[in-house]
Chain A
Amino acid sequence: MLLGLALLWTVASGLFGMDIARALKLNPGWDAPGSGSAIAAERLRDELGRDAAPVVVLFRPTAHGPQQVDDLAYRLAVDAALRPLYANADVESVHTWYTTGNAALRSYDGRLTYAVVQLKKGPDEGVTAYRTLRSSLVSRELDISLGGELAVYVDVREQLDHDLRLAESVSFVLLAVLLLWVFRSAVAAMLPLIVGGVTIISSIAWLKLASLGTEINVYAPNVVSMLGLGLAVDYSLFMVSRFREELARGQPQALALHITMRTAGRTLMFSAVTVAASLFCLFLLPQRFFHNMGLAGGISVASAMMTTLFLLPAMLALLGDRVNRWVPPFLGRSRDTSETGRWFRFSHFVMRHARVVLGVSVAILLVLALPVQDMKVGPADSRSLPPTAESRQVQETLASRFASSEIAPIMVVARTRAELTAADSLAGLHTLSTAIAALPDVTHVSGLTSLDPALTLADYRMLFGNPEAFPQAAAALDEFGRDRSTVLLVYFSGDPNAAAARELVTRIRALPLAASLEAVHVGGYAAFHLDYLDTLRTHVPIVLAAIVGVIFVLLFLMLGSILVPIKVVLTNLLSLSATFGALVWIIQDGNLASWLGFTAQGALDGTILVLIFASAFGLSIDYEVFLLSRVKEMCDATKGDSLKSVSTGMQQSGPIITNAALLIGVVLGAFAMGEVVFIKAIGLGLLLSVIVDATLVRMLLVPATLRLLGRLNWWAPKPLLMVYQRMNLGEIEFDPGRKP
């Protein structure tokens, strides 16, 4: 019955979620609501009708075509290529070197030029228009490639789709092999794969459902798949292992399942709550992007948990002893299940040399964390796409062969108190425009009062006071103004991604506001990044504190100890520092770049760091909780014999934790193979975190500290102990004398 419902649910979810790509937003949602750049963007859209992202159409000579931009043949070829755009209803405007005389649109050597095409629609609505535009641009004489924000978004989406399919395929194949090796039974090995598959399908369906109520970006499905598959396989591993162990002990099938649910089931539920709680802390950040990631993470964790707790037990009940069938002959060897096996012996060794091991393991982690000192947090740019991506190549060509980028001006949106053309309004705008033009790095300003450097304020007053006599006044009002709002486009030399561009935004914002101007908001690419980084600076400490606090409370409720949660939090912070150090060394500095297939980023995207922190903090707690719950049980059973309880706990949890780490590592590794650096860095970061947790932390740090703290491990003040006893989330053991 339950299996039938699950099948029906899976089919329905699959059908519902199969077209999720259409429901997702290309705009990642990095805008910080209420920031200057966000308000500027709103006013540009709502008051000035400017919502479009520009598309760059880059022209390069071919071997047999015209070579110089100034050749008539070159211009004719450009015009012929652009001709389909001129009658395209989705195109707002097209500007070229030829039509504007703007030298920024011509390369230094005069061999390349680009057109700036403004579409009438924003990123998401404009995708179809962009694709039509892309297919309509052809030339025999010139090479044409497309760039700009919208092109990057589209390339990212296409690459993410490709990476997702590849990662899922690779994951499933490798997981099948590994699970077969772990379980030594094809039937048992199939179960986590089924749970993983159903989890992904359900998660995508939930994500699509969520997209009906809120905007979800294109990164979400990859995060859902990565976390959902990894967690579902891990959770299934815990459940199936426990069930098989109970059967091996001769328990009747129903009781074995009951014990499995009450023990492993409870642990994985706690794990899911921990990871979800950690991810939900992302909602404390103001950007939609983080809300999306928190939601995606929460959905994947919830789906993994629900599928494991409902579908898997049903399958186990149906299979019973048959769960051990189909044993490949080449994997028939029994595994180390003795109570004093190698994990037991290893932990004994660690605890005999607890101080040395603690010192060495902390030293290793600190060495790994050293590169963090050189960490640079910056915005992501087109380098996060593979070098073969068209939009990235265009961006790099613009940066290296053109004087300044004309597609990313700083946009200053001003609202006047009186009519735009009133004398006072023009005076305020003229003062602002002149002050901006005088700032360093500004090449020119375009706006109502910046039409001609030779004109004075008195001239502009006369010009806009007599629009019937001066057609250029009417044209300027049409281009730059609407009602009481106007935009000044500030063009500057240098890279819009550079700190200098953000510094320029700060300087513009610091300019005094004329009395005739009601409000001035600075937007555009550089302003957006400045606001984004400022938001991270102010909100991330709060988020990190919240994650640490939530995890601390949950651990206390699980273990009833004060010192162990403190130790776990400190250990995790150390472990994450090592992970971030490795990320700096790899992603920022570009070590292993050729091997991993990406380009050194020069900085780490702050978003990645926050996401890794939230995900890894939750994930890494899993293994520790699993180990500590075993140790706590043994501690209770042995009346506080720390040596025996830790060794036995290590022996009982060691193989499963190793296997779980291996399995989730495979999934994370498969996603780290992706070509979009954003997902690659998250996959790699989480993979590193899992490796560090499953090795240095779990094998060395935890036993050493547990040994050194002795009975203090499980101490808590009496009032808190009462809270713990009332709300105990720990695993319930049916027969403490037995192996769990």
Chain B
Amino acid sequence: MTLRAGALCLLATLVSAAHADLMLTGYSTAGPLSTQERIWIREGLLRRDFIDRGRAYSHVFDLARQRLALIDHGARQVELHSLTSLQNEAGAGTPSGHIKLKLTPTGTTRPLRHWTCEAHQLTASLPTRLGNEAATFHLTGTVWIARHPPEQAAVKKWVEMSQKKDFFLGVPAAVKATPAQARMLSDLVRELAPRGLPCGGELDARHEGTGPLAALAGRIPARLTLTLHDFSDAPLSPDLFEVPSAYTVRR
């Protein structure tokens, strides 16, 4: 789940420049589990709503304030986290090394309303650790990107902020369980954000290594998909990104 959360942020934020607001709706899967996805972007704010086993959650990233709000709508609870702290934690928990990323157009296209989505073959890898073992995390598959549709203008500010050094999109569970992946996915978003708007993607995640944990991880398949079926650049209410007033807040 934590891996999926990061991957979905990646796919949802393959965005380009401009201003105003954007909403994306679709479905994502991680293995056999599937959930609704709704993503709203407004300037330096990104909100992702998803359903996990019938419970509604929201992640609200405020890049300007370096703040993440985790909202559990069923429990009416909010957890506030510092993105800077999360970034530091992720960095401390991973071996040194750089992300290797390759994005190759395949020439295949498909429509999403008036967008033309182009398929790109993604190959990404990053050194990581599994327990005490050194391993490499690989993410491969297809991502679908709509280049330069009119709605790109709606996310200009957000893309600008994604290029800053302190940009980080991980959530605490992912940072704690798989810090390398959390870091890698944030880096991927930074790399891919200026290229266009996302239509979807089908990605396989796997670990490679010589130790037994890596061997086991390699045998547990992790396929992640995102299929967007609608979008809108209608103006969004600022309240959408606020912590609901009736909820209990924990910092």
Q: Is there an interface contact between B213 and A466, defined as CB atoms closer than 8 Å?
A: yes
6 residue pairs, one from A and one from B, having the closest CB atoms: A94-B54, A86-B56, A87-B73, A101-B32, A93-B54, A93-B53
CA gap between A601 and B34 in the complex, in Å: 40
Query: Does A79 make an interface contact (CB < 8 A)?
Result: yes
Query: What per-residue 1/0 map shows which CB atoms of B47-79 lie under 8 Å from chain A?
Result: 000010111100000000000000001111000
Instruction: Check A454 for interface membership: any CB of B closer than 8 A.
Output: yes
Cross-chain contact A95 with B177 (CB below 8 angstroms): no
A334 interface residue, CB < 8 Å from B? Answer: no
Tell me the smallest distance from the CB of B24 to a CB of chain A, in Å: 15
> B214-251 toward A: CB 8 Å interface, digit per residue (1/0)?
00110110000000010000000000000000000000
Whether the pair A79, B36 counts as a contact (CB closer than 8 A) is yes
A469 close to B (CB within 8 Å): yes
Query: B3 contacts which chain A residues (CB < 8 A)?
Result: 471
Q: Using a CB–CB distance below 8 Å, which chain B residues touch chain A?
A: 1-3, 27, 32-36, 51, 53-56, 73-76, 130-131, 173, 176-178, 212-213, 216-217, 219-220, 229
Which listed residue, B33, B54, B229, touches A117 by the CB 8 Å rule?
Answer: B54
B207 vs chain A, min Cβ distance (A): 9
Instruction: Tell me which of A79, A86, A463, A472 contacts B55 (CB under 8 A).
Output: A86
Provided the pairs A86-B56, A87-B56, A454-B219 are in contact, do residues A99 and B35 lie with their beta carbons within 8 angstroms?
yes
Q: A94-B53, A462-B212 are known contacts; what are 20 more A-B pairs with Cβ within 8 Å?
A: A79-B36, A82-B54, A85-B54, A86-B51, A86-B55, A89-B75, A91-B54, A91-B55, A94-B51, A94-B54, A95-B54, A101-B32, A459-B219, A463-B216, A466-B130, A468-B177, A469-B130, A469-B131, A469-B213, A470-B216
Q: State whether the Cβ of A72 lies closer than 8 Å to any Cβ in chain B.
A: yes
Let me know if B178 and A471 touch, CB within 8 A: yes
Cα A463 to Cα B1 in complex, Å, equals 16
CB distance from A78 to the nearest CB of B (A): 10
A100 at the interface (CB under 8 A from B): yes
Taken together as a complex, chains A and B put the C-alpha atoms of A452 and B221 apart, in Å, by 10
Bound complex: CA A338 to CA B219 (Å): 97
Task: Determine how close the nearest CB of chain B comes to the CB of A448; give it in whole angstroms.
Answer: 15
B74 engages A469 (CB within 8 Å): no
A472 to B177, CA, bound (A): 10
Q: Contact at B51–A475, with CB atoms within 8 Å? A: no
Instruction: Tell whether A99 pairs with B34 under 8 Å between CB atoms, given A459-B216, A471-B3.
Output: yes
CB contacts (< 8 Å) of B176 on chain A: these are 468
Contact B55 A93 (CB under 8 A): yes
Most buried by A among B56, B73, B173, B219: B56
* Interface pairs (26), CB distance under 8 Å: A86-B54, A86-B55, A87-B73, A87-B74, A88-B74, A91-B54, A93-B55, A94-B51, A95-B53, A98-B27, A98-B34, A99-B33, A99-B35, A100-B34, A101-B34, A455-B219, A459-B219, A462-B212, A466-B130, A466-B213, A469-B130, A469-B131, A469-B177, A471-B2, A471-B178, A474-B177
For the complex, give the distance between the alpha carbons of A463 and B219 in Å: 12
Please classify the interface of chain A as helix (H, G, I), strand (E, B), loop, or mixed, using the class held by over half of its residues.
mixed
Residues of B within 8 A of A88 (CB): 74
User: How far apart are the CA atoms of A295 and B2 in the complex, in Å?
Assistant: 55
- Shortest B128–chain A CB gap in Å is 10
State the main secondary structure of chain B at its contact with A: mixed
Bound: A471/B173 CA distance, A:
9
Q: With A and B bound together, what is the CA distance between A82 and B229 in angstroms?
A: 19
What residues of chain A lie closer than 8 Å to B130, measured between beta carbons? 466, 469
Identity of the chain B residue whose Cβ is nearest the Cβ of A75 in the assembled complex: B27
Given known A98-B27, A469-B217, contact A86–B177 (CB-CB < 8 A): no
Q: Distance in Å from the Cβ of B204 to the closest Cβ of chain A? A: 16
Residues of A within 8 A of B (CB): 72, 75, 79, 82, 85-89, 91-95, 98-102, 117-118, 452, 454-455, 459, 462-463, 466, 468-472, 474-475
Provide the residues of chain B in CB contact with A95, threshold 8 Å. Answer: 53-54
B residues less than 8 Å from A87 (CB atoms): 56, 73-74
- Rounded to whole angstroms, the CA-CA distance of A82 and B36 in the bound complex is 11
How distant is the Cα of A471 from the Cα of B31 in the complex, in angstroms? Answer: 13
Task: Note all chain A residues with C-beta closer than 8 A to B131.
Answer: 466, 468-469
Q: Which of B53, B75, B130 has the most CB of A within 10 A?
A: B53
Best-buried of B33, B173, B220 by chain A (most CB within 10 Å):
B220
**Complex Cα–Cα for A640 and B73 (A):** 86
Distance, CA A472 to CA B178, complexed state (A)? 12
Q: Is the CB of A462 within 8 A of B75?
A: no
Chain B residue numbers with a CB within 8 Å of A85 are: 54
- State the CA gap A92–B53 with chains docked (Å): 8
Give every chain A residue within 8 A of B32 (Cβ-Cβ): 100-102
Contacts of A117 in B (CB 8 A): 54
Q: In the bound complex, what is the Cα–Cα distance between A89 and B247 (angstroms)?
A: 12
Q: A86-B73, A86-B74, A100-B33 are in contact. Are A462 and B213 (CB under 8 A)?
A: yes
Query: Inside 8 A of A462's CB, which chain B residues have their CB?
Result: 212-213, 216
Interface centre among B35, B130, B216 (most CB of A within 10 A): B216
Q: List B contacts of A463 (CB < 8 A).
A: 216
Q: Find chain B residues with CB under 8 A from A101 CB.
A: 32-34
Which residues of the other chain, A, contact B73 by a CB distance below 8 angstroms? 86-87
Q: Are B55 and A99 in contact (CB under 8 A)?
A: no
Q: Give B215 Cβ to nearest chain A Cβ, in Å.
A: 9
Tell me the bound Cα distance from A275 to B67 in angstroms. Answer: 74
- Shortest CB-to-CB span from B244 to chain A, Å, is 10
With both chains docked as a complex, state the minimum distance between the C-beta of A39 and any C-beta of chain B, in angstroms: 27
Whole-angstrom distance between the alpha carbons of A93 and B54 in the complex? 5
In the assembled complex, the CB of B94 is this many whole angstroms from the nearest CB of chain A, namely 13
In the bound complex, what is the Cα–Cα distance between A1 and B55 (angstroms)?
63
List, in ascending order, chain B residues with CB within 8 A of A468's CB.
131, 176-177
Whether the pair B220, A452 counts as a contact (CB closer than 8 A) is yes
Most buried by B among A88, A91, A454, A466: A466
Closest to A479 in B: B53
* Minimal Cβ-Cβ distance residue in A for B207: A469
Chain A residue contacts of B33, Cβ below 8 A: 99-101
Chain A nearest Cβ from B56, distance in angstroms: 4
A462–B75 Cα distance when bound, in Å, is: 33
- Measured in the bound complex, the distance between the Cα atoms of B35 and A95 in whole Å is 10
With the chains together, A469 CA to B134 CA distance in Å? 12
By beta carbon, the residue of chain A nearest B25 is A76
Q: Which residues of A lie under 8 Å from residue B220 when comparing CB positions?
A: 452, 455, 470, 472
Residues of A within 8 A of B53 (CB): 93-95, 99
Closest CB in chain A relative to B1 CB, distance in Å: 6
How close is A66's CB to chain B, nearest CB, in angstroms? Answer: 14
Q: Is the CB of A89 within 8 A of B74?
A: yes
Contacts of B35 in A (CB 8 A): 99
CB distance from A50 to the nearest CB of B (A): 14
